[in-house]
Amino acid sequence: MQCSRCKSIYANSQSYCTTCGYFGLFFEVPARMSGEDCFRHIGLPASRFCVLCARPICDECRAREGFSFLSLVPTTECIECVTTMEALQAAYFSNLRSAGFCPNHPKAPLQHSCISCGLSFCDECLAFTSRGLLRRRPDAGPYCRTCFQMKLPLREFTRKISAADPRAKNAITRARS
Ligand SMILES: [Zn+2]
Ligand SMILES: [Zn+2]
Ligand SMILES: [Zn+2]
Ligand SMILES: [Zn+2]
Ligand SMILES: [Zn+2]
């Protein structure tokens, strides 16, 4: 498998990137248990299989519960997988930050930080919300992609102005002075 975030290669037996923790795929796991024990609690009956490591887990070891719209089954992620992915991601981001590179573009230098989460990105990855219909101007920002999406209700007609846009450059300069 090749990671779509950091482009490193990892084993097909892994459901996430072992370099940056980015999610790759869910394993197909049986929906029903047949008397398995939780892999972390011997003697405790498992209630689900983890879709990231395919191991049987008990209720206590469920960290995240989702739903796959592709295969129409619930997806359960175990505490070990979730913790490992988060630790890998945190280490990857902090390495990039200390090297001064964007988490999404490991060759692009960091430009600004997102005003919501505080993480730094290159201009390509940052955007302002806009105001004005005919002459659009930057309103609030810059936001990273994730925060931009979370901030804005889907039904709202808000457009974005990339931080690489000259109009945004002025907004950033104004905010600084
Ligand atoms: Zn990766
Ligand atoms: Zn797992
Ligand atoms: Zn357990
Ligand atoms: Zn952010
Ligand atoms: Zn970037």
> Do 30 and 23 touch, CB atoms closer than 8 A?
no
What does the alpha-carbon distance between residue 24 and residue 107 come to, in Å, rounded to a whole number?
A: 22
Q: Which of 1-10, 55-64, 155-164 has the lowest mean pLDDT?
A: 155-164
Give 22-44 pLDDT, tens digit per residue. Answer: 999 999 898 888 999 999 999 99
Residue 14 C-alpha to ligand 1 middle, in angstroms? 12
Among the bound ligands, the one closest to the CA of 111? 5
**Residues less than 5 Å from ion ligand 1, measured at CB:** 3, 5-6, 17, 19-20, 22
Residue 89 C-alpha to ligand 1 middle, in angstroms? 8
Residue 103 C-alpha to ligand 1 middle, in angstroms? 10
The model's confidence at residue 155, banded by pLDDT at 50, 70 and 90, is: very low
Residue 124 C-alpha to ligand 3 middle, in angstroms? 43
Give 107-141 pLDDT, tens digit per residue. Answer: 899 999 999 888 889 999 999 988 887 888 898 89
Residue 103 C-alpha to ligand 4 middle, in angstroms? 12
Residue 105 C-alpha to ligand 1 middle, in angstroms? 12
CA quadruple 76, 79, 84, 90: dihedral, nearest 10: 100
Domains of the chain: 1-99 (3.30.40), 112-176 (no CATH)
Among the bound ligands, the one closest to the CA of 146? 4
- Provide the 10 A C-beta neighbour count for residue 19: 18
Residue 138 C-alpha to ligand 5 middle, in angstroms? 19
What does the alpha-carbon distance between residue 67 and residue 75 come to, in Å, rounded to a whole number?
A: 5
